[in-house]
């Protein structure tokens, strides 16, 4: 049985040259908005709401940055994986 407070996360590295910029952040937001619960992007201990472009941009994720995509609800596992895959595919840029 899963503890209600247990978090689910996946670490990925930003590999595209421009890092996370407005267009790539918008792609993350588009995925996160369908989540049943909160989705976060975490970099160096700083946590940003993945449904907010401004929150994501404040993390200043440049090329080579390690980020963690985290969800609280296991029903959002598909969204966690979709965001991680988007990052791994260099935001399809």
pLDDT at 50: 98
Helices marked H in the chain — which ranges? 22-32, 53-58, 77-88
Q: Is 8-92 CATH 1.10.3720.10?
A: no
Residues tagged active-site? 21
Query: Residue 1's pLDDT band (boundaries 50, 70, 90)?
Result: very low
pLDDT at 93: 86
Q: Give the whole-angstrom CA distance, residue 62 versus residue 26.
A: 16
Domain ranges of the chain: 8-92
Q: Give the whole-angstrom CA distance, residue 18 versus residue 7.
A: 29
* pLDDT greater than 50 at residue 2: no
Mean pLDDT of 72-91: 96
Q: Give the whole-angstrom CA distance, residue 11 versus residue 70.
A: 9
């Amino acid at each position: 049985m899963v503890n209600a407070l247990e978090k689910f996360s996946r670490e990925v590295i930003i590999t595209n040259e421009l890092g996370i910029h407005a267009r790539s952040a918008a792609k993350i937001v588009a995925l996160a908005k369908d989540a049943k619960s909160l989705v976060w992007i975490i970099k160096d201990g700083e946590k940003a709401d993945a449904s907010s472009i401004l929150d994501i941009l404040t993390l200043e994720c440049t090329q080579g940055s390690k980020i963690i995509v985290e969800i609280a609800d296991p029903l959002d596992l598909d969204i966690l994986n979709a965001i991680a895959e988007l990052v791994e595919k260099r935001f399809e840029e």
